[in-house]
Copies of this chain bind each other. A is one copy, B any other.
């Protein structure tokens, strides 16, 4: 069995555990395979969202779109999107209504859901680690810190909202290399959108992320910000979308696609 087959076997095993009820962040699971953000919307909202994603490709790089009502994806042909993520969020009229580990019943009630699978910056973290750049939330064993910003996305139809970013502290001498490495993954957020000066992004206190966990920033390190696939959740809130299901931050969909597939 080669390395890819082994990774796929651990992806199948992880999805089976989540299907069985396990709830845990997915960072570090099935290393080498791409993880994806998910948002599922009624068919009637699908065009607006697909256009929003096209207009905001750094925040919403689309990896796959399902047929209305379908819960399968080319990114992992045996997977079931209703059950195979560890934790889902349910949104009603732009408000977080519920978190739950199994969305089967919601799919039965909303029969025309279109699911969007969106690239996740976890994909390029392996490359950062291999270049000797510490990925702090991995070394500190927590979720990546994410922040709402003052940067408005380009609106589409009924959808608008601000960009959400993830942050990784990088030593000043390695910032250029971190930018270069991640730029070559445009399908999973690509290069940083902002380097240093959190206040200019509207972030008052980097120790207080809006999603995920705070990480330590050491002397000589610069906070580097990448567009984040949680942006659609901010957009659902800001646009008061009547109904949506998303992954819970950090609780991603593990695909069968190798990270290297998205390397340019």
What residues make up the interface of A, taking CB atoms closer than 8 Å to B? 46-47, 50-51, 54-55, 62, 65, 183-184, 186-187, 190, 264
What residue of chain B has the Cβ atom nearest to residue A53's Cβ?
B54
Q: How near does chain B come to A152, taking the closest CB pair, in angstroms?
A: 14
What residue of chain B has the Cβ atom nearest to residue A154's Cβ?
B74
Q: How near does chain B come to A66, taking the closest CB pair, in angstroms?
A: 10
Which of A46, A55, A62, A264 has most B Cβ within 10 Å? Answer: A264
**What copy number does this chain have within its complex?**
2
Which chain B residues lie closer than 8 Å to A184 at the CB level?
A: 264
Which chain B residues lie closer than 8 Å to A65 at the CB level?
A: 51, 54-55
**Which secondary structure dominates chain A's binding surface?**
helix
The answer on a CB contact under 8 Å between A183 and B51 is no
Cα-based distance from A187 to B46 in the complex (angstroms): 23
Which chain B residues lie closer than 8 Å to A47 at the CB level?
A: 46-47, 50
With A183-B264, A184-B264, A264-B186 already in contact, the answer to whether A51 and B54 are too (CB < 8 A) is no
What residue of chain B has the Cβ atom nearest to residue A50's Cβ?
B50
Which of B54, B186, B190 lies in contact with A50, CB distance below 8 A? Answer: B54
Starting from the known contacts A54-B65, A186-B186, 16 additional A-B residue pairs (CB-CB under 8 Å) come to A46-B47, A47-B47, A47-B50, A50-B50, A50-B51, A50-B54, A51-B65, A54-B54, A54-B62, A55-B65, A183-B264, A184-B264, A186-B187, A186-B264, A190-B264, A264-B264
